[in-house]
Structure 1
Amino acid sequence: MARLNLLEETRFEKLPVSVFDNPATASVNVARRIAGIIRDKQEKQEKAVIGLATGATPVAVYAELVRMHREENLSFYNVVSFNLDEYYPMQPDAAQSYVTFMKENLFNHIDIPAENIHIPDGTLPLEEIPAFCLNYERRIGEYGGLDMQILGIGRTGHIGFNEPGSAPNSGTRLVTLDDLTRRDAARDFGGKAFVPAKAITMGIGTIFKAREIILMAWNQKKASIIKKAVEGEISSDVPATYLQLSDNVEFILDQDAASLLTRFDTPWLVKDCIWDEKLTRKAVIWLANKLHKPILKLTEDDFNNNGMAQLALEKGPVYQINIHIFNKLQHTITGWPGGKPQADDSQRPERAEPAHKRVVIFSPHPDDDVISMGGTFIRLVDQQHEVHVAYQTSGNTAVWDDDALRFVEFSIDFAQKMGLENQAMSKLYAQMRTFIDQKKPNQVDPPEIQTVKGLIRKGEAIAGARYCGLEDDHIHFMALPFYESGKNQKNPVTDEDVKLTMELLQKIKPQQIFAAGDFEDPHGTHIVCFKIILEALKRLQKTEDWTKDCWLWLYRGAWLEYDTHEIEMAVPLSPQELEKKKYAIFKHQSQKDRAVFPGDDAREFWERAEDRNRETARAYDELGLAEYEAMEAFVRWKF
C-alpha cells in the first residue's frame, strides 16, 4: 500500500526523485555513493571513472569526499575523472576557471594521480577544438565509459553547458552560452561583459552513456526549472528534460528545490491531505487564481472539479470555507504596521501596545530598506514609532569605478575652491586613476577605492533615511566584517558579526524588527545577514527579557514578493505614498539607471519595487478584497 501511495503522489514526475531535508544531508548521500563506486572498483582492481561538475551545487559533495579521504582512508589512486565543461577562452590559473575550482575544492586535497584528471582545455586555438573534443570522447571510451556522472542544473535547464537547443545525441563540443547563464556568472567575473561567450562541454549524448547519472539541485532558486525538468514535456528548450529518457538517472534535491513539484506545491492533486489552516488557505487562493474568480464566488463544483473534494467534504460547506479564508486575508491588511493604539488587536497582524514601539529595520545593503519596505518605513516614522535603520554592509562592491573617481574629483575641486592644502588627495587620485585604467575583471579594489565606494553608498543611505524622516542618531552603519573583503566572494561569518549585531540590539531593545527575507540564493548577502540576526537574537534570548516581546517581520527584495497565501501583514500604500517611496529610492543615485549587478531584470530598482507593490495589491483585489494602489507585504518569523 505504501508503494502504491508513493506512486500516486509522484505520478506527475517522469523520472526518479529523492528529496532530502537540506543540501548537507543530500551531499553526504551523493559523496557516499561515489565512495562506494571507488571502493568497489578498488576491490576489483579496476579504475573508477567519475564525471565531475562545477559550481556551487557539488561543493559540499567534494568537501565530504575530502573528509572521507582524510578520516576514513578513502583513496583516489584508482579514480579517473572527466569534468563536464570549461569556459572558452579560459586560462587554467584564472580564478574563474574550472581547473582552479576543482583544485581548490577537491584535487589539491586527495591522492588522485594528476594524469588521471581530465578537464576541457580553454586555451586551445579555435581550429584545434574539434580534434580535442573527439579525443575527449575517445578517452572516456578507452576507460570503459563513465561509472557515474554528477550534474547540476542551470536556470536555463542546461546540464553541463548544453544550453537550450542542444540535441539529445550531442557530443563534446564548443557551444555558445545563453545570456541567462552569463548573467548568473556575472558576479564571479566582475560583470557580464567579462563572462566568456563560449564553453567546451560534454554533450548530452556523452552524459547519457554514464552507467549512473545523479543530478543535484539545492534552494528555491532552482525550483521552477526542476519542475520543468521533472514534470514537463521533453523539449530542447529545457535540455535537462532529455534525462527523462534515461533508465539510469536520479534527481537528488533538497526541500526548497523540490518545493514546486506537484506533490509538495499542490498535494491535493495527488493525495488526501491533512487540511490544516495553512494548507486550506493556500488551496483556496490557488483555486481562485486558477479559475480567475474572487474567493467568495467559488462553488462546490469548483472544489470538486479541481482536486479539492476532500476539503469540501471535511471542512464544508464550501461557502463557509470561502468566508473563513476571505476574512483571514482581510485581517492581514493594515495601515498600522506598528500596531494600532487602543484598538482590538485580536484580528490584527501587530499588537496594539505599546502604542509607540522601538523598531529596527535591518537593511543588508544600503538601499534594501527603501526598495523593499520604503512605504512602511515612512508610515512607521509618521506614526511616531522610535524607528532605527541598521545598514549591515557597506555595499561597496556595487559602485562603478567612474563614480568613485567623480567623488574624489569633487573633493579635490572643493578643497581648491576653499583654499585648502590637498596634495595628498591629488596623489591618491592619480594612483586611483592608474589602478582603474589597468584594472582586470573582478580585480579587488585597493582599500582607498573600497573606502570611497563605501562612503558613496553611506551618503546615499543617510539621504534616503533622512527623507523617510529619521534623525541621524537613528541611522546605524554596521560594516559587518564578513562583507568587507573587497571581493564578490565574501569572508565567512565570524563571531564578530554576531557580537556587533547583539550590541546594537542590546542598545535599542526593539519590540519590532524588520529584516530581509530573500533566501533563494543560499550564499547571498540577504540570507547571510538574516542568519547573523537570528543567531544574535537566540543568544540574547537567554539573558535579555525584552526579547520575549520582540517580533521579527521579514520583507522581500526588489525581485520577488511573497505568495499571497504566505502574507501575514499587507501594508497598503496610496498613490502619494508610493510616489514618496520612489523618491526615497532615488536618493541612491549610484544604483540608479544601471546597477553594477542588476540581476535578471532590466528595470531600475524603483520600477521593480513599484510594479511589485502594485502586483501585490492587484492580487488581493482579484481575490475579491479592497482595491488599493499598492501594498508592501511581510511574513512574521516564528522563533
Structure 2
Amino acid sequence: MIPTTTLNYPIDEESRKFEKTNTKIYQSSDEASLRVANEVADLIKERQKKGKNVVLGLATGSTPTKVYEYLVKFHKEDGLSFKNVITFNLDEYYPMEPDSIHSYVRFMNEHLFDHIDIKKKNIHIPDGTLDKEDVREFCEAYEKKIDQAGGIDIQILGIGRTGHIGFNEPGSSLKSKTRLVRLDRVTRLDAASDFFGLENVPIKAITMGVGTIMAAKKIILMAWGEGKSSIIQQSVEGKIKESVPATFLQHHENCDFILDTASASSLTRMSTPWLVTECDWDDKLIKKATLWLSEKLNKAILKLTNEDYNEYGMGNLVAEVGSAEHINLKVFNDLQSTITGWPGGKPNTDDSRRPERKSPYPKRTLIFSPHPDDDVISMGGTLLRLVDQGHEVHVAYQTSGNIAVFDDEVIRFLDFATDVQANNQELENKLLEARKFLSSKTPGQVDSPEIQKIKGFIRKGEALAACRYCGVEEKNAHFLNLPFYETGAVKKKPHSEEDIKITYDLLNEIKPHQIFAAGDLSDPHGTHRVCLEIIYQTLERLVADKADWLDDCYVWLYRGAWQEWDIADMEMAVPIGPMDMERKKNAIFKHQSQKDAAMFPGNDEREFWQRAEERNKETAIKYNSLGMAEYEAMEGFVRHKFM
C-alpha cells in the first residue's frame, strides 16, 4: 500500500458544518475499500443467521475493484458464502455484447461472480444486446425484479467527473427510473482509454435511475484520488441541482461518502480548516493557510496584515505567533528557499537553506519514468539542468508504453524497414502479417505479441532520441519493461516480485545520490501509481537489507502533464528560462508517436507539450504573485523521506 501524507485536519462536528452528507475519510483507498467490504460482509452474515436474503446494488469501474477483491478474499479464506445474496448492477453500455472486454457482465464475472458461490439466477445486469424497441419493457421488468427482491439493501456507487451516479448524467431527475440514456461527452472521454479511442466508446447506456438509487435502504458512494476532489466538494457541500446528480444524495437519510484523503482534499475541513474551527497550527498548516490567504486577497505574502488573518479565521494563529509580520516573513523565507537553479545541489556554497546538498558533486541521478516520455514531459527542464551542470544522469523507463502507439505507426515503421533492407523476406513477411492482423483487429482487441514488441521498439527509439537530445548517454538509458505492464491491454496485472527485483537490481547497480520518481496518484489503479508503489517497496527492501548508499540519497517526486503539486507542498522549485522551455518542448517532440494525438489523452485534449508548458508557466506565475521573483516557468518537486 502506498503511504500518503495528510494534514492534521479536524474531525469534530463543528468542522463538518459545510458538509450536507455523512463523509468518512480514510488514509488510503485500500483502507476505505476494506471498510466497505466489511460492512457488506457483516450484513450478509447477519441476514444468513436470520435465514434472509441480502440485495446488493453493484457498480463497475476502477473504484469498487478493491472492495470486490476483499469480498472474494473473505469467501476463499474466511468461508463467507454469497448464496443468500441477490445483486442488481447499476448499468451497462448499449449496445454491448456480454463477452466483450468492455462489457460490465464480463467485468463483474472477472472481479467477483466467477470467484464466489453466488447463485447465477440471483445476478441481474442490464442487457446490452436488446433490440431498441425491447429496452423500455426490459427496464420496467428490471424495476419490478428489484421490488420483488425486497428492494436494495446496500447500493454501491462511484462518481463521475460530471457528478453522474450510475449513468445518470447532468439533467437527470430525482424521480428517474431504469432507462436508456445518452452519455455525456466528458463521461465518454473518461472511458476513451478503456476503448482505445473516443470514437469506440458507445454513446448510450442502460442505467438505474436516480429514483431507483434513492430507494435503496443504504447508499455507499466511494471516490479515490485528487481527480475526484472537485466533484466531491460540489456533491457534499454544494446546492442540490440536476446538473450535479450526486447532490441528490443529500436527500438520502442513510448515505455515506467513503473517501480517501486525496478525493476529500477540496472539502472545507481539509483544504481550509481554519474557516470552520480552531486549528492546531504546525509549520505545514501555517504555510498552507498563508499562501491561501495571499491568493485569496491577491496580495503578496509580505503585504498581509493582522486584519487579513483575523477576517479569515486565523486570529488564533496571529495570537500564537505574535503578528502578521512574523508569520509573513517565516513563510516568505520558507518559500524562497524552495527555489533553486541547482537541482543537483550547488557546489562550494552554503547549502543550509537549499533543498539539495552541495556534496557530493557531481551526483549520480536516476530519473524513473513510468512511460517513455514522462521524464521530459514532467521534468524535462530539470533533467536538462542536471545534465548541463555535469551530473551523471540515468533514466529508467519503467514500462514499454506499447499500448499507447497507434496501429498505423507499426505499418509506417515496417514499411521503412523493408525499404531500407530491400528483398529481406523475413521483414516482408512480418509486414504482411502485421497488415493482416491490424486490418481485422476490433476496437480494444489485444495486439499479437509481435505487434506489442514492435510498438515497444517504436517507443524505445523515441526515448533514446530524447536522451541524445538532452545529453543523456545512451548507456544510461535503462529500459526495464516491468512485467506488470505487459498485458497488451489497458488493464494491467498486479505488480509482482519480479517487478521489484528488476528495480532493486538497477538501484543497487547505479547507487544514485538522487532519485526522481513520478508522484501522480490521481488514478488509484493507474500505471504511475503502480510504478511508484514498486519504487517504494524496493526502497523498503533496500533499507531492510542495509544498503549503505541509501544514507546519501534523496528521493524527489515530480508530477505529470495533468496536474502539479500545490505550492504549499513544493519543497524544490526549479526555474526554467525561455531557452530551456524550448529545449524541453523539443525533447517532448522526439516522441513522435505521441505527437499531434495521444492514444490516451485523458480529460485534456491538448497535446502533452502544451499541457506541460502551461502547467510550468502557471507555477511561475503563482510564485510571482506571492512576491517571489518573476520566472518564465518552473517545475516543482516534493521530497519523499523513506528513512
C-alpha separation in 1, matches of 2:384 and 2:11? 52
The partner residue of 1:423 within 395, 411, 425 is 425
Greater mean deviation of Cα atoms: 144-153 or 327-336:
144-153
Whether 1:624 and 2:627 are equivalent positions in the alignment is yes
Identify the residue that residue 119 of structure 1 maps to in structure 2: 125
Distance 1:5 1:451, change over 3 A: closer
Residue 539 of structure 2 aligns with which residue?
Answer: 537
Query: Once the two structures are superposed, what CA deviation does each residue of 1:567-590 show, in whole Å capped at 9, x if it has no partner?
Result: 111111111111111111111111
State the partner residue of 1:602.
605
Shift of 1:307: 1.0
Deviation at 1:5, TM superposition (A): 7.6
**Matching residue within 468, 472, 476 for 2:474:** 472
Q: Deviations over 1:157-195 (max 9, x none)?
A: 111110111111111100111112112222222222111
How large is the Cα RMSD of the aligned pairs? 1.5
Corresponding residue to 2:588 among 581, 585, 590:
585
Aligned counterpart, 2:168: 162
Pick from 326, 331, 349: which aligns with 2:332?
Answer: 326
SS in 1 for 2:575: strand
Query: For 1:91 and 1:611, how far apart are their aligned partners in 2?
Result: 42
The range that moved more, 458-467 or 470-479, is 470-479
Question: Is residue 557 from structure 1 mapped to residue 563 from structure 2 by the alignment?
Answer: no
> 2:181, 2:205 within 8 Å by CA — same for their partners in 1?
yes
Query: Partners of 1:531 and 1:5 in 2: how far apart?
Result: 29
AA of the residue aligned to 2:397: Y
SS of structure 2 residue aligned to 1:268: helix
Equivalent-residue separation in structure 2 for 1:415 and 1:478 (angstroms): 29
d(CA) in 1 for partners of 2:380, 2:366: 14
Corresponding position of 1:227: 233
Q: Which runs of 5+ in 1 are unaligned?
A: none
Mapping for residues 53-452 of structure 1, pairs under 5 Å: 53-416=59-422, 421-452=423-454
Question: 2 CA distance for matches of 1:121 and 1:515?
Answer: 44
Question: Per-residue CA shift, 1:212-232, capped at 9, x if unaligned?
Answer: 111122222222211111011
SS at match of 1:189: coil
In the alignment, residue 534 of structure 1 is paired with which amino acid? Y
Gap regions ≥5 residues in structure 2: 1-9
Aligned partners of 1:335, 1:567: CA distance in 2, in Å? Answer: 15
* AA partner of residue 185 (structure 1): A
Equivalent residue number for residue 50 of structure 1: 56
Cα distance in 1, alignment partners of residues 40 and 564 from structure 2: 39
CA distance in 1, matches of 2:529, 2:145: 43
- Aligned residue pairs, count: 632
Instruction: Summarize deviations over 1:128-170 as a string: whole Å, max 9, x none.
Output: 1111111111121222222221111111111111011111111
Identity of aligned residues (%): 59
For 1:514 and 1:403, locate their aligned partners in 2 and report how far apart those are by CA, in whole Å: 30
In structure 2, relative to structure 1, the CA distance for the partners of 1:530 and 1:40 (3 Å cut) is: closer
Q: Which moved more, 1:439-448 or 1:33-42?
A: 33-42
The question of whether the paired residues in 1 share the 8 Å contact of 2:577 and 2:631 is answered with: yes
SS at match of 1:25: helix
Partners of 2:193 and 2:602 within 8 A in 1: no
CA drift of 1:423 comes to: 0.8
Structure 1, 505-514 or 431-440: larger mean CA deviation:
505-514
- Counterpart CA distance in 2 for 1:353 and 1:190 is 47
Summarize deviations over 1:562-617 as a string: whole Å, max 9, x none: 11111111111111111111111111111110011111111111111111111010
Counterpart of 1:18?
24
Secondary structure (helix, strand or coil) at the match of 1:336 reads coil
> In structure 1, how many angstroms separate the alpha carbons of the residues matched to 2:158 and 2:578?
44
Identify if the C-alpha distance between structure 1 residues 471 and 143 changes in structure 2 by more than 3 Å, giving closer, same or farther: closer
Per the alignment, in what secondary structure is the counterpart of residue 55 of structure 2?
strand
Q: Deviations over 1:102-126 (max 9, x none)?
A: 1122222222222221111101111
- Amino acid paired to 2:638: V
Partner amino acid, structure 2, of 1:470:
V
Residue aligned with 1:564, SS = coil
Q: Deviations over 1:345-383 (max 9, x none)?
A: 001111111121111111111111111111111111111
C-alpha separation in 2, matches of 1:376 and 1:65: 45
Between the aligned partners of 2:320 and 2:630, the Cα distance in structure 1 is: 32
Give, in whole Å, the separation in 2 of the partners of 1:80 and 1:448.
44
Give the partner amino acid of 1:241.
Answer: T
- Counterpart for residue 4 of structure 2: none
Work out the CA distance in 2 between the residues paired with 1:360 and 1:69.
Answer: 43
TM-score between both structures, scaled by the size of structure 1:
0.96
Change (3 A) 1:144 1:397: same
